[in-house]
Structure 1
């Protein structure tokens, strides 16, 4: 698998593995820690070396699972986790960007991940109650102490990116980016290119919808995707046209819609690393194979011309507190 430079200090496989669905957010059907650990270890065998989690996934259990699964691969993989969100009752989240909380969160993540330093420590959400320079300065101090190697941030505005990048360099930003979530190409992605910052694209398969195998009707009780308007009955009927278009492109390459969706994300820039999530071996094999799929200019034009999705929303927990913290 090819390598991509997220920053001058951080080079990773062209595809990462998002681990949140193994412990968090989606419904409990097929959730199995032993299977998930096997999927993580097989990903390493395939050349995947970037694994993304967060302390709020579970909460805490996803970091514990990843720490156990990767214990034999210390030094060979990049572990990325996040801080700054706090799980509350009813699946809701609050933000805490205070230096005291971030230090406690870091110490907890180090223990759960079983590492001496976190390769990429990401601020999950900006806390409006704390000056962002104070939050970022506290994270920079963790780097100075050797507890963190690189800093990242998720769901920040371009103005916030400018501000924190001056305090301490950003190695990577993380946002949703997919065929049905293209909005970050207008501002965040160009900012990353201009500043030599990597872009981690989460949910490149549209949380399973773009693979053509998940609809609102197929979701477990308690699956957070049921609250995503894109999975609603009316929106899903409209959005199926996007999947149909991906199938047309996939047929030309003897591929699947999911692989085309991942390849599209890869085509958005040489600093873009999709981090599709899965908890099954079958879909891991399919996703990893997408790293070798090269879309033609004609393919990309066809995908650009697909209908706009119905029901897109921001996954910012300030507006949608019960939704998963992607």
Structure 2
């Protein structure tokens, strides 16, 4: 697996692995199988593992700790802080308080069984706390030797610039796929200008591009995708029709739909001049192998053109509350308005 400089000297592989699905996000998962998949990921040459403190309320980090006990030196480890799970749905769903971030980091270090995090993300921006204050706390953690690099997740271009004025930012983690391209207009140019790498997530459409979620009936009751508009009955049929166009492109290229979806991400990153390491996640080793093959695939110009046309036809927003993600805040900031409190 080819290695890259993601940003600020953080060397990792051109594809990483997102471990979120091991902790109930998309339904129940068996720890023993998850651990086998994690070992297979590392055996396959992938060094970049992504988790977060809120995945499974800490379960995901504890699970990874079982692998890190013997393989820490083989891994570039990323985790996150900033999201909270309030009991009252009207309470804020982000917390950027510096003391909270530092406490979360210490808890993550303990769960993961490590002394240092390679890449520590601010998971969601808290509109109540200036991003400069939150990133200042992250900078303190770098100074203390507890983290090596700072990342941001779901930020606007303006927030990225403000954060980078406090401390160099290594990477931004953003949803980016054939269906979700809103970051191209402002965030990606800012990242290129600042030398910040891109870590795309949900590049397989949260499993939609692989045919795993063509209807709510396919999803377990606790599956998070039940709350995403694009999977809702009023949207899914139109989106399946678009997905079939991805299938057709993949068939013409002689590759799988998942490979076409990831290969498109690599093509776009090259066009934007960005270092990129997508983090597709799966519970199964055979899917890991399929995804990794995409890193060496180059799509034809015609295939890229056909895939580029799909985003504008997608039915439904990518997340339920547009103001909890970067797109809504970006639009408001460009209009000279203040972003609403994250809820």
- Which bracket does the TM-score occupy, shorter chain normalised? over 0.9
Structure 1 residue 283 corresponds to structure 2 residue 277: no
SS in 2 for 1:121: strand
Q: What is aligned with 2:112?
A: 113
Q: What is aligned with 1:146?
A: 145
Q: What is aligned with 1:50?
A: 48
Could you list the per-position Cα deviations for residues 95-148 of structure 1 after superposition, in whole angstroms to 9, with x for gaps in the alignment?
A: 221121111111111111111110000000111222221111111000001000
Deviation (angstroms), 1:316? 5.8
Q: What is aligned with 1:244?
A: 244
SS in 2 for 1:201: strand
Deviation (angstroms), 1:201? 0.3
1-side partners of 2:68 and 2:296: how far apart? 25
Query: Which 4+ residue blocks in structure 1 deviate beyond 6 angstroms?
Result: 90-93
How well do the aligned residues superpose, as a CA RMSD in angstroms? 1.8
2-side partners of 1:67 and 1:93: how far apart? 30
Q: What is aligned with 1:253?
A: 253
Q: What is aligned with 1:83?
A: 81
Structure 1 residue 7 corresponds to structure 2 residue 7: yes
1-side partners of 2:264 and 2:233: how far apart? 26
1-side partners of 2:324 and 2:11: how far apart? 34
Deviation (angstroms), 1:8? 2.8
2-side partners of 1:218 and 1:93: how far apart? 31
Could you list the per-position Cα deviations for residues 202-236 of structure 1 after superposition, in whole angstroms to 9, with x for gaps in the alignment?
A: 00000000112322221111111011111122311
Q: What is aligned with 1:268?
A: 268
2-side partners of 1:175 and 1:241: how far apart? 25
Structure 1 unaligned spans of 5+: 321-326
2-side partners of 1:23 and 1:78: how far apart? 20
Among 311, 318, 340, the alignment partner of 1:313 is: 318
SS in 2 for 1:54: coil
TM-score (norm 1): 0.93
Q: Is the 8 A contact 2:17 2:46 kept in 1?
A: yes
Q: What is aligned with 1:324?
A: none
TM-score (norm 2): 0.88
Structure 2 CA distance for partners of 1:317 and 1:185, relative to 1, 3 Å: closer
Q: Is the 8 A contact 2:199 2:278 kept in 1?
A: yes
Structure 2 unaligned spans of 5+: 326-343
Deviation (angstroms), 1:319? 4.7
Q: What is aligned with 2:218?
A: 218
